[in-house]
Structure formats: structure tokens, C-alpha cells
Amino acid sequence: MNVFDTVLADDNFSMIVAAVREGRSIYNNMKAFIRLLWVNLVTDGPATITLSFKPPDKYIMKKAPHRSDDSLISPWILFQYLFIFNP
């Protein structure tokens, strides 16, 4: 049994129209998501590549080692990201 057969088993034409409308809506939403994903990949890709090849800081070995429980994002950085938008 196919989905198409199941939809056509109902004689109510408005149900068929509603199912087609829902299917088209899902398709359009998926297309919009994929477009947004592609735009993010294209615009963020070069910036990410340049950050990955950034040379180390000059005085990196003079700094104390990080603690094992240090978080990647400090509360101050999180505050800047959320409210100031200028890290």
C-alpha cells in the first residue's frame, strides 16, 4: 500500500487538497533550510579557514596552563555575545 493510495482512499476532496498543501509547505520549508545552510557554509567557510591557520600568540608559552575545569566560554564572553554583540 502506498501513501498515495491511502490519501485517495478518502473520498473527501478537501483532505486531498490539505495533504497536497501540507506536502508543498514541508518541501518549501526544507528548501529554505538548505538555502540558509548553504549561505552559512559559503559565508562562514573562509573565515573559519583563516582562523584555523592563525599563527600562535607570541607569548603563548609564558602563560600559565589552563585548569581542567575551565569553560570555553566565560560568563563575560557569554554576556558580550548575548547583550553587547562585540566580543
With beta carbons less than 8 A apart as the criterion, state whether 77 and 87 touch.
yes
* Measured CA distances, 65 to 4, 62, 68, 69 (Å): 63, 9, 9, 12
The C-alpha atoms of residue 37 and residue 40 are separated, in whole angstroms, by 5
**Residue 46: what pLDDT?**
83
Per-residue pLDDT tens over the stretch 2-58 = 555 555 666 777 888 888 899 999 999 999 999 999 998 888 888 888 888 888 889
The C-alpha atoms of residue 71 and residue 68 are separated, in whole angstroms, by 9
**Residue 24: what pLDDT?**
94
**Would the pTM count as exceeding 0.85?**
no
> Hey, where are the domains in the chain?
3-62
